[in-house]
Structure 1
Amino acid sequence: MSSVDHVLLTRFNLPSGGVEATIRASEHWLSNRWMLFERYCAPSVSSQSEKNFSWIIYFDPESPRWLVDKVTEISRNGLFTPIYRASVSREQLLGDIRGVAQGTGQRLVTSNLDNDDALARDFVARIQAVPLPEERTAVFITHGLIASPAGLYLRIDRDNAFCTVIESWDDPTTCWSDWHMMLRRSMPAIELEGAPGWLQVVHGENVSNRVRGRLVSPDQWRSRFADDLAGVRVPGRAQIARDRVLLAPARAVSESARGSVKWLALSVLGKDGMDRLKSAIAARTRPHPPR
């Protein structure tokens, strides 16, 4: 892809309404999320083979002093641009993007990155290798990895959260114009298959991430993910065989049923209702700090 302005977009602890606002304002949530960000997310962006991109991370202006200090320290080398906002309107988002991007590229490219996830070393390079489409287009790297205490899993997700939108600088909408699984409703999509391009980490505070896909050895993928796979268990042949024959098919059936229920709930509740439901689930399932 020639001459583009590529910007990664991350929400760290943007204020939001309802139960989720309380969760994201808690010291426990913030400290755990910062630990994951430092351990997985930031190193994976720093290790990108293609350096021609910018990274914006949004923070709550009411963030505690310790977090502001850490953000200032880690961003000092230019890895990302921290922006403190109580909310981000479309106009503000585009203004912030213009502030970090040169604005001289033939297209604007925006990619979503959650603060507890990680990118393969060539994620940006693969996105920028896509031939420039004439119309606004979503791009998904379909294969990724999920790391959990039980092991590492290879997953195919054709509408994953690591979504990218390529578009003209004229009236852009960005990858945040809709939920990642709904982008295809408003624009065509390109799927990039091949080696895993992203990593999700299953931990106690992410509602959406869970074990999916099939069990694999991390050894074949370590070179793609900096040190993000350090400490991941290497399964034996018997474990892999058992997973392929029994566990992975059962997970696939469960995931299909879950997806059907999710789309049904979305059609009934709408996006706002789904947001409230996810916040309520997060509040009930998150681990509480020791007293």
Structure 2
Amino acid sequence: MFKHFLITRFNLRNPDWTTSKKNKSVLTKEWHDNRFELFTNFCFESVKGQINTNFEWLVYFDTTTPEKFKTIIRDLEKKMPNFIPIFIDGMSLFLPSITSYIAKCSEPYIITSRIDNDDCLGKQYIETVQKQFNRQDFMAVDFIDGYTIQTHPQIKIGKRLDQYNPFISLIEKNNNPKTVWSIRHSHWKREKHVLQLKGERHWASIIHEENKVNEFEGYGDVDVDIMFQNFAISKIWERRIKAEAIPYSKWKFQSFLNRLESYWDYAFRNMKKALGVYKFK
């Protein structure tokens, strides 16, 4: 009835993306070392740990990826049959390549989900997305609750409230499908057909020193033992987080401010949408 594709872009050359948020050059050897460490410890392990494996994971790498990292990619292929690396020549070919790949699918419906290469999914993410399928012509699925983990310079872990986030999925008819990557994730606020699900936490954003935009916006006291029952990451990092995460009592005031800002943003966006401020497509 449907085919489900999880889609990630990794290191595609883009003239508009040359530095990290700290103005460090990207796509260097150092950048690749750091990003592959994040990818293999967090993102890859979390996707490999999905309870529902009825999906294909398309991960887009640049053709200029150094051979050292191509070897790592080949090793990852052996560990996960539905991990499908695709090499293309720069960011301009990203959307055309997705369209071309999905065009081979004969199922009447397509589900596309997105995840960034430095984030991770809860074990039930794919399963829960597919449970929302009801032959919709066009419906985005937005899990607005998640977690966030800061890995540098100190380890913090908190809850996160974020609408139109980088973990959105799109259910649509397989008739020239647009896919979830057709617009920026924040622009789904301009789409009428968005199903927002609150309460369950099926994603975790990773905040690290190379983030271009994101900062730690977590709040609340998280029981990491309970969290890691539903999130698969490398055992090395799971042990490190449990041992080194700053206790909630040490950042309570920051938690209060982050919670206040998160819920204010949530209410403000909902008000703007209700008032018709966003121009629907």
Measured against the shorter chain, the TM-score band is 0.7 to 0.9
Whether 2:229 is the aligned partner of 1:223: answer: yes
1:6 to 4, 7, 10: 4
Q: TM-score, normalised by structure 2?
A: 0.80
Q: What amino acid maps onto 1:9 in structure 2?
A: I
2:83 equivalent among 80, 85, 106: 80
Unaligned runs of 5+ in 2: 269-281
CA displacement, residues 97-121 of structure 1 (integer Å, 9 cap, x when unaligned)? 245xx432x3100011100111000
Contact 1:140 1:192 in 2 (8 A): yes
Within-5 A mapping of 1:8-27: 8-20=6-18, 23-27=25-29
Deviation at 1:168, TM superposition (A): 0.6
CA 1:67–1:89 in 2, change beyond 3 Å: closer, same or farther? closer
1:247 aligns with 2:245: no
One-letter code of the match for 1:25? Answer: L
Q: CA deviation at 1:211?
A: 1.6
Q: Give 1:67's aligned residue.
A: 69
- Do 1:7 and 1:54's aligned partners in 2 also have CA atoms closer than 8 Å? yes
Deviation at 1:92, TM superposition (A): 2.6
Report whether the alignment pairs 1:194 with 2:199. yes
Deviations 1:182-233 (CA, angstroms, capped at 9, x unpaired): 1131341011222210111111001333221313231221100024543224
Counterparts of residues 156-235 of structure 1 (less than 5 Å): 156-215=161-220, 216-227=222-233, 229-233=238-242
Q: Which amino acid letter does the alignment assign opposite residue 223 of structure 2? A: S
Paired with 2:185 and 2:231, the residues of 1 have a C-alpha distance of 23
Residue 36 of structure 1 contacts residue 116 of structure 1 at CA under 8 Å; is this kept in 2?
Answer: yes
Distance 1:80 1:239 in 2: 36
Q: Is the 8 A contact 1:136 1:187 kept in 2?
A: no
Deviation at 1:253, TM superposition (A): 5.3
SS where residue 111 of structure 2 aligns? strand
CA distance, structure 2, for counterparts of residue 163 and residue 234 of structure 1: 31
1:137-152 equivalences in 2 (<5 Å): 137-148=139-150, 149-152=154-157
* Kept after mapping to 2: 8 A contact 1:152/1:217: no
| Percent identity of equivalent pairs | 25
Provide the residue aligned with 2:279 in structure 1.
none
For 1:65, the aligned partner's letter is E
Secondary structure (helix, strand or coil) at the match of 1:250 reads helix
**How big is the alpha-carbon RMSD for the aligned residues of Structure 1 and Structure 2?**
2.7
Contact residue 219 and residue 259 of structure 2 kept, 8 A: no
Per-residue deviation, 1:39: 0.3
**More divergent stretch after superposition (129-138 vs 40-49):** 129-138
Provide the rounded CA distance (Å) in 2 between the counterparts of 1:218 and 1:256. Answer: 23
In 2, Cα distance between equivalents of 1:19 and 1:91 = 19
> For residues 121-165 of structure 1, what are the alpha-carbon distances to aligned partners after superposition, in whole Å with 9 as ceiling and x for unaligned?
000000000042533111111111111234210111121110111
Which residue in the other structure is 1:287 paired with?
A: none
Shift in alpha-carbon separation, 1:258–1:172, aligned structure 2, 3 A: same
After TM superposition, give the deviation of residue 75 of structure 1 in Å. 1.1
| Residue number in structure 2 paired with 1:274 | none
CA contact (8 A) 1:202 1:209 kept: yes
Find the residue that maps to 2:228 and give its secondary structure: helix
Residues 161 and 262, structure 2, Cα contact 8 Å, conserved in 1: no
Over 3 Å counting, the alpha-carbon distance change for 1:133 and 1:210 in structure 2 is farther
SS of the equivalent of 1:110 reads strand
| Structure 1: gaps spanning 5 or more residues | 261-291
- Matched residue, 2:129: 127
Q: How does 1:264-283 map to 2 (within 5 A)?
A: none
